[in-house]
Amino acid sequence: MFSHITAVLRALAVTLALLAGPAYAHEGHDHGAPPPPVSKTIAPRGEAASAAFELVAVPKDGTLILYLDRFETDEPVHGATLTIETPTGSANATAATDGSYQLPAPWLSKPGQYDLMVTVSVGSDADVLPLTLTIPDLAASNAPVQVGTAQTISATLSQAVPVVTQGIRERLARQDPVLLTVSAGSFLLGILVVLVARGRRRVPVIAVLVVTATVLLSASAFAHGDEDHGRPESKAALIPPNSPGATATTDLAQRLPDGSVFVPKPTQRLLELRTVMTAAGSYRRTIGLPGRIIANPNASGVVQSSVGGRLSPPPSGIFPRLGTPVKKSDVLAYVTPPVQRVDVSDMRQRQGELDQQIAIVQRRVERYQKLTVSGAVAQVQLEEALDELRGLRDRRSALDKLRAEPEALVAPVSGVIAEASAVAGQMANPGQMVFQIVDPKSLWVEALSFDALGSAENATARLADGRTLQLTYQGAGLADRNQAIPVQFAIAGDTSGLRVGQFVTVLAGTDTELQGLALPRAAVVRTGNGQDVVYEHTTAERFEARQVRVEPLDGNRVLIAAGVGAGKRVVTQGAELLDQVR
Amino acid sequence: MVFWRVAVVGSLLMTLPVQAHEVAGKFGGRVTDAGKYHVEMVAKDKTLDVYVLDNSEKPLPATGFKGIAILVVNGKPARITLAPADAQKLTGTAEVALGAAPKGAVQLTAPDGTTASGKFN
């Protein structure tokens, strides 16, 4: 029973302790020492950030250089008014040609800590950014005060140990009698002391003391030889911090010992680094399909000749050429069917017959007209003869017309001539396509899909030049074509510059929904060990690589399934360049 | 056993003051950190009162302190010079009415000449 209560109490204690922990981490609550400088080789600088802006201040040769960027995108802000509360009063920074803002600051020559307040106003945005700038004491920088005690000891050790070991190695190599004597003496002394101390309870302690003393003695003995130990090792690992004249030259992008990348603002601007704020969401996975642009079947047409015949231009005298806009029912060409030689003799024979009959009936009609007056011929007979004459004349004229009348080829739809094969005098075969008419404002895309697309309403097409087109799903065929199904989309919006037959990549959404953060493909960098990382913009000039798990999303974006949370600034432009910083 | 009881009580004590700190200050304003101090800002119409507190929220005498507050009111920055009004607070007057919780920053100059600034979001 008691143990249960204990367990509960323990659990409660742990829970409360865990609850208490994060509560301390509230906004800006840092009572400890300011964060250590990022590197000894980087000039002192101050930075501040708000929801809208990010500000970095770097003192250089008596001038305070301020870099103002948008917080979310890391885009430089131009044309802002920066009012700075300095120890000598408030002053405005002037914009420099390189996109920074500069303020003459002679007061910065004195070392110390400066609290500045920078009021930024650009357009309708205004913000106040408090900034702390610590100017180190140049005179004190050469004294070992700057370096921590632990660092000093470790530096001393790391320099002393190689010296000692190298001394031993040299002496061993030369079979130095001093070395041999000292080591033999130490050994004997050790044995002697151990023998004296034997039988007592504190043997191990004494033994350790003795051995330590022996080693120290022998080491000091080594160090007192008269050999040249070579020049003292240079302290090249630590460039003296802020040595005079070094501040301006050492501001270089570098990878810090903790793995993060320090990129000063001027370099960030040179590399055009841009970031984006991550946001979680659900995305439809898209698949890429090969497709090509086709004419809208309802807004295009072909002009074919129904009979074989000789082509002749329309009344305007010229055939419509490629690209000529035409209207529906415009006459584009004429086809004159040729008359065969056999047909010609046939027709001539028929013509002669008809002419002969017309002459006979004509004469009969004239005779009847005279005789009907006297009543010798009935009126009915005259009328019959007249009808016959009229019929014969009709047949005769139809025979003439048939020989002369060509077939008119008319445009079935309005559009632009996409294909024209008409040449004056050319013989067209029946069924041959003479013109193709396409409406360039109404084009479709036909893609081949290996899967049945469920709801492809949010499809886009990407052209080779990177342009994208919004597509509206029109329908999919069921008949197999090369083991794939043709899917048709209408292009919504501007179709200028497109041509029929052009290849496109159709990106169609599938039904599977994925959760995560969508980032541009360029944000993900593959490191040397084959892992995918993105660079998070942690502070104004620091970027940290974050290992991520990436899933394909569509042509331009990938989905970050794990590794980075929402609300982080991730580099989307220039990440590859950032990865090269050593 | 004693250890775990102490842990429970300690954890409770640890949680309480922090929560009180998060909500609001003693004088009805908002508290933020400014260097080694805490500052509480109380905005009322055009008057701005700033109380200087130490790390454990105890008021410090305001005499000798100077300060500037820059607050963003209706998208425009307003600069307010703060001077000690009485032993407890620094007071300044703005040209425009400050909202109930204006954004901005306060910069203090301590009697020893050191400066500290705090930000209010």
Alpha-carbon distance of B119 to B121, in angstroms, equals 6
Task: Give residue A194's pLDDT.
Answer: 60
The answer on A449 and A434 residing in a single domain is no
CB-based contact B71:B98 (threshold 8 Å) = yes
The answer on A502 and A482 residing in a single domain is yes
Helices (H), A144-176: 149-174
Among A261-275, A325-339, A395-409, which stretch is predicted with the lowest mean pLDDT? A395-409
Task: Give residue A457's pLDDT.
Answer: 63
Alpha-carbon distance of A24 to A5, in angstroms, equals 29
Cβ neighbours for A545, distance < 8 A, ≥ 6 positions apart: A259, A260, A261, A525, A527, A533, A534, A535, A536, A579
Task: Give residue A360's pLDDT.
Answer: 94
Q: How would you classify the pairing of strands A433-438 and A468-476?
A: unpaired
Q: Report yes or no: A480 at the B interface, CB cutoff 8 Å.
A: no
Alpha-carbon distance of A118 to A115, in angstroms, equals 10
The answer on A346 and A333 residing in a single domain is no
Question: Are B79 and A90 within 8 A, CB to CB?
Answer: yes
CB-based contact A386:A380 (threshold 8 Å) = no
Question: Are A124 and B75 within 8 A, CB to CB?
Answer: yes
Q: Is residue A32 part of a domain?
A: no
Minimal Cβ distance to B8: which of A16, A27, A117: A16
Backbone angles phi, psi at A132, to 5 degrees: -115, 130
Interface test with A, best of B14, B70, B109 (most A CBs within 10 A): B70
Tell me the Cα Rg of chain B.
Answer: 17
Q: Report yes or no: B100 at the A interface, CB cutoff 8 Å.
A: no
Residue B4 scores a pLDDT above 60: no
User: From edge to edge, which strands make up the β-sheet containing A63-70?
Assistant: A46-49, A53-60, A63-70, A101-104, A94-95
Task: Give residue A533's pLDDT.
Answer: 92
Q: What is the pLDDT of residues A266-291, one digit of tens each?
A: 899 989 999 999 988 888 877 888 89
The answer on A290 and A309 residing in a single domain is no
CB-based contact A300:A433 (threshold 8 Å) = no
- For the segment B63-90, the average pLDDT, to the nearest whole number, is 84
- For the segment A138-163, the average pLDDT, to the nearest whole number, is 46
Task: Give residue A547's pLDDT.
Answer: 93
Residue predicted with more confidence, A577 or B14: A577
CATH architecture of B2-120: Sandwich (2.60)
The answer on A398 and A420 residing in a single domain is no
For CA atoms A238, A244, A246, A248, the dihedral sign is positive
Residue predicted with more confidence, B100 or A204: B100
For CA atoms A516, A522, A523, A525, the dihedral sign is positive
Residue predicted with more confidence, A340 or A423: A423
Question: Are A19 and B114 within 8 A, CB to CB?
Answer: no
**Quick one: tokens of B52?**
């200087």
Burial class for A491, CB neighbours closer than 10 Å (0-12, 13-18, 19+): buried
Instruction: Return mean pLDDT, chain A.
Output: 77
Backbone angles phi, psi at A303, to 5 degrees: -115, 120
Residue B79 scores a pLDDT above 60: yes
What range defines the domain where residue A320 resides? 300-337+407-438
Residue predicted with more confidence, A83 or A337: A83
Minimal Cβ distance to A24: which of B7, B18, B32: B18
- pLDDT-derived band at B5, boundaries 50, 70, 90: low
Q: Report yes or no: B3 at the A interface, CB cutoff 8 Å.
A: no
**Quick one: tokens of A368?**
């009847």
Rounding to the nearest 10 degrees, give the CA dihedral for residues B65, B66, B68, B69. Answer: 30
Minimal Cβ distance to B105: which of A20, A87, A117: A117
Question: Are B33 and A31 within 8 A, CB to CB?
Answer: yes
Interface test with B, best of A4, A19, A82, A117 (most B CBs within 10 A): A117
Task: Give residue B86's pLDDT.
Answer: 82
- pLDDT-derived band at B27, boundaries 50, 70, 90: confident
- pLDDT-derived band at B101, boundaries 50, 70, 90: confident
Instruction: Provide the CA A495 distance to its chain's centre, in angstroms.
Output: 24
Q: How many CB pairs under 8 A join A and B?
A: 99
CA distance A567 to chain B (A): 18
Alpha-carbon distance of A79 to A76, in angstroms, equals 10
The answer on A459 and A372 residing in a single domain is no
- For the segment A56-85, the average pLDDT, to the nearest whole number, is 89
**Quick one: tokens of A494?**
């501007």
What CA–CA distances, in Å, run from B97 to A461, B44, B94? 55, 8, 7
Task: Give residue A281's pLDDT.
Answer: 87
The full 3-state SS of A311-349, as one line of letters, equals EECCCCCCCCCCCCEECCCCEEEEEECCCCHHHHHHHHH
The answer on A545 and A451 residing in a single domain is yes
- pLDDT above 70: percentage of residues in chain B: 80
CA distance B25 to chain A (A): 15
Question: Are A13 and B115 within 8 A, CB to CB?
Answer: no
Residue B90 scores a pLDDT above 60: yes
The answer on A526 and A463 residing in a single domain is yes
What CA–CA distances, in Å, run from A187 to A182, A195, A198, A211, A450? 9, 12, 16, 9, 84
Task: Give residue A10's pLDDT.
Answer: 62
The answer on A193 and A101 residing in a single domain is no
Alpha-carbon distance of A526 to B10, in angstroms, equals 48
Residue A15 three-state SS? helix
* Domain range list for chain B: 2-120
Task: Give residue A55's pLDDT.
Answer: 92
Buried b (16+ CB within 10 A) or exposed e, A292-310: bbbbbeebbbebbbeeebe
Q: Is residue A197 part of a domain?
A: yes
Q: What is the pLDDT of residues A16-41, one digit of tens each?
A: 444 444 444 344 444 444 454 555 66
Alpha-carbon distance of B76 to B21, in angstroms, equals 29
Minimal Cβ distance to A28: which of B22, B32, B115: B32
Q: Which of B59, B56, B18 has its CA nearest to residue B42?
A: B59
Identify the CATH number of the domain in which residue A139 sits.
2.60.40.2480
Backbone angles phi, psi at B112, to 5 degrees: -85, 10
Residue A535 scores a pLDDT above 90: yes
- pLDDT-derived band at A358, boundaries 50, 70, 90: very high
Question: Are A31 and B19 within 8 A, CB to CB?
Answer: no
Residue predicted with more confidence, A405 or A206: A405
Residue B55 scores a pLDDT above 70: yes
Q: Is residue A564 part of a domain?
A: yes
Alpha-carbon distance of A82 to A437, in angstroms, equals 62
Q: How many residues are recorded in chain A?
A: 582
Task: Give residue A252's pLDDT.
Answer: 83
Q: Looking at beta carbons, which residues of chain B come within 8 Å of A26?
A: 18, 21-22
Task: Give residue A17's pLDDT.
Answer: 45
Residue predicted with more confidence, A15 or A309: A309
Q: Which of A223, A241, A258 is the last residue of a domain?
A: A223
Task: Give residue A67's pLDDT.
Answer: 93
Question: Are B116 and A115 within 8 A, CB to CB?
Answer: yes
CB proximity under 8 Å: B 15-74 to A: 15, 18-19, 21-22, 32-33, 35-36, 55, 68, 70-72
Alpha-carbon distance of A206 to A185, in angstroms, equals 18
Cβ neighbours for B118, distance < 8 A, ≥ 6 positions apart: A28, A130, B32, B33, B34, B35, B37, B38, B39, B105, B106, B108
The helix or strand, by DSSP H or E, that contains position A560, with its residue range, turns out to be: strand A557-562
- For the segment B3-32, the average pLDDT, to the nearest whole number, is 54
The answer on A506 and A429 residing in a single domain is no
- pLDDT above 70: percentage of residues in chain A: 72
Alpha-carbon distance of B9 to A85, in angstroms, equals 46
Q: What angle do CA A532, A538, A541 make, to 5 degrees?
A: 105
Alpha-carbon distance of B121 to A510, in angstroms, equals 43
The contacts found for A452-456 with CB under 8 angstroms, 24 or more apart, are A452/A476, A452/A485, A453/A487, A453/A508, A453/A510, A454/A510, A454/A511, A455/A509, A455/A511, A456/A487, A456/A489, A456/A508, A456/A509
Question: Are B21 and A119 within 8 A, CB to CB?
Answer: no
CB proximity under 8 Å: A 73-92 to B: 83, 85, 87, 90
Task: Give residue A243's pLDDT.
Answer: 43
**Quick one: tokens of A453?**
């697309």
The amino acid at residue A574 is: G
Q: Report yes or no: A342 at the B interface, CB cutoff 8 Å.
A: no
Q: Report yes or no: B117 at the A interface, CB cutoff 8 Å.
A: yes
Q: Report yes or no: A16 at the B interface, CB cutoff 8 Å.
A: yes
Residue of chain B minimizing CA distance to A3 = B1
The answer on A181 and A139 residing in a single domain is no
Residue A233 scores a pLDDT above 60: no
Minimal Cβ distance to A23: which of B19, B55, B70: B19
CA distance B96 to chain A (A): 16
CB-based contact A115:B117 (threshold 8 Å) = yes
Residue A220 scores a pLDDT above 70: no
Q: Which of A41, A68, A540 has its CA nearest to residue A251?
A: A41
Measured N-to-C along each axis, helices A341-374 and A379-404 cross at an angle, to the nearest 10 degrees, of: 160
The answer on A544 and A480 residing in a single domain is yes
Q: Looking at beta carbons, which residues of chain B come within 8 Å of A20?
A: 11, 14-15, 18
Q: Which of A48, A249, A17, A225 has its CA nearest to residue A133?
A: A48
Q: Looking at beta carbons, which residues of chain B come within 8 Å of A129?
A: 105, 119
Alpha-carbon distance of A310 to A424, in angstroms, equals 8
Cβ neighbours for A194, distance < 8 A, ≥ 6 positions apart: A203, A207, A210
Q: Looking at beta carbons, which residues of chain A come within 8 Å of B14?
A: 16-17, 20
Alpha-carbon distance of A214 to A136, in angstroms, equals 45
Q: Report yes or no: B81 at the A interface, CB cutoff 8 Å.
A: no
| Residue A186 backbone zone (phi > 0: left; psi -120 to 50: alpha; other: beta) | alpha
Q: Looking at beta carbons, which residues of chain A come within 8 Å of B71?
A: 128
Q: How would you classify the pairing of strands A112-122 and A81-86?
A: antiparallel
Q: Looking at beta carbons, which residues of chain A come within 8 Å of B68?
A: 85, 117
Question: Are B103 and A115 within 8 A, CB to CB?
Answer: no
In this prediction the ipTM stands at 0.74
